[in-house]
Amino acid sequence: MEGQHNYLCAGRNDCIVDKIRRKNCPACRLRKCCQAGMVLGGRKFKKFNKVRVMRALDAVALPPPVGIQNESQALSQRITFSPNQELQLLHPVINLLISIEPEMIYAGYDNTKIHNSSSLLSSLNQLGERQLLSVVKWSKLLPGFRNLHIDDQITLIQYSWMSLMVFGLGWRSYKHVSGQMLYFAPDLILNEQRMKESSFYSLCLTMWQISKEFVKLQISQEEFLCMKVLVLLNTIPLEGLRSQNQFEEMRSNYIRELIKAIGLRQKAVVPSSQRFYQLTKFLDSLHDLVKQLHLYCLNTFIQARALSIEFPEMMSEVIAAQLPKILAGMVKHLYFHTK
């Protein structure tokens, strides 16, 4: 697809595009082309390739390997260990997840200036770019992830980045402002009034729904960290991954870690099983919620020039390469429960 694409739909972005009516709405025709897998010629990106990701990964130093002590060592040392030390001893993977969790990322947003929706969305995209790079670095430190084929690692990040962004947003909003506002970053927090003033209020409500679910379930840090890994592993290609067996083993391991995290606060068997059901239903619900974000993101990306919205390079690569596939149903979403 070549040339300029400053198109706006006069309707609701759902015009019928067929052989006869294909020229009626250029905006919807362009959207259909993207969903069919065509690439925007006006945005010729380098492929989200191995070299670039490997450079990002190599910039991070690996921590020393985490060893799980044998049962006799654990029992002999439990008597003298504090609760935090006991967590390190008996739950080494959860403890490692705590240690590798990225630091808070700032948006660089100037709250003293008056911003319109376009500048706000551009700032959110810049923040998303930094968070995407943070996800790449975090994944390198994630036990089991580097055992997967490099193509699988890239695919999983590309498919899950939006889910990870909004899941992290929900957690920050829950922890820092009790789910009352959207806590994108310490310098970019939207209260309900600012949400209403934006052009994407309905989208804010979708994201707000996720943070309210955190409040409702009172999710612990350990539960959140295990669930975050499962969000990374929640969508795969229809044909499967190159290292599918290793992927399934890794996913099963983190499901077990989530059960352990639940056990830290729920000692009885019945409450633990109920808690697991609640948390996994929440994870399943993310697929439909994130689909709304994907649709909005792709529509905005297609009309970026007309709307004066900036999209950073790495995020643009992922959107152009993967969002049309995801929205066209060319991926497999993994569910814990039948719909």
In a domain, 300, yes or no: yes
One-letter identity of residue 246: Q
Instruction: Take residue 106 and report the two structure tokens written for it.
Output: 């700032």
In a domain, 128, yes or no: yes
Q: Tell me which residue of 61, 91, 90 sits closest to 78, measured CA to CA.
A: 90
Q: Are residues 108 and 36 in the same domain?
A: no
Q: Are residues 21 and 146 in the same domain?
A: no
Q: Are residues 166 and 38 in the same domain?
A: no
In angstroms, the CA 13 to CA 299 distance is 8
In a domain, 147, yes or no: yes
Residue 41 confidence (pLDDT): 46
The CATH number of the domain where 32 resides is what? 3.30.50.10
Q: Label residue 327 by pLDDT band (50, 70, 90).
A: very high
Residue 63 confidence (pLDDT): 47
In angstroms, the CA 31 to CA 303 distance is 10
Q: Are residues 112 and 37 in the same domain?
A: no
Q: What is the sign, positive or negative, of the torsion defined by CA atoms of 166, 218, 285, 263?
A: positive
pLDDT higher than threshold 80 for residue 23: no
Residue 25: Cβ-neighbour burial (10 angstroms; 0-12, 13-18, 19+): buried
In a domain, 338, yes or no: no
In a domain, 184, yes or no: yes
Q: Tell me which residue of 185, 225, 194, 188 sits closest to 94, measured CA to CA.
A: 225
In a domain, 74, yes or no: yes
Q: Are residues 21 and 56 in the same domain?
A: no
pLDDT by residue (tens digit) across 35-68? 555 655 444 444 454 555 555 555 544 444 443 3
In a domain, 339, yes or no: no
pLDDT by residue (tens digit) across 100-155? 999 999 998 887 777 788 999 999 999 999 999 999 999 999 999 999 999 999 99
CB count within 10 Å of CB 188 equals 18
Q: How many domains does the chain contain in total?
A: 2
pLDDT higher than threshold 80 for residue 3: no
**Cβ proximity of 171 and 213 under 8 Å:** no
Q: Are residues 127 and 37 in the same domain?
A: no
pLDDT by residue (tens digit) across 214-247? 999 999 999 999 999 999 999 999 999 999 999 9
The CATH number of the domain where 213 resides is what? 1.10.565.10
Domain range enclosing 3: 1-44
Residue 329: Cβ-neighbour burial (10 angstroms; 0-12, 13-18, 19+): exposed
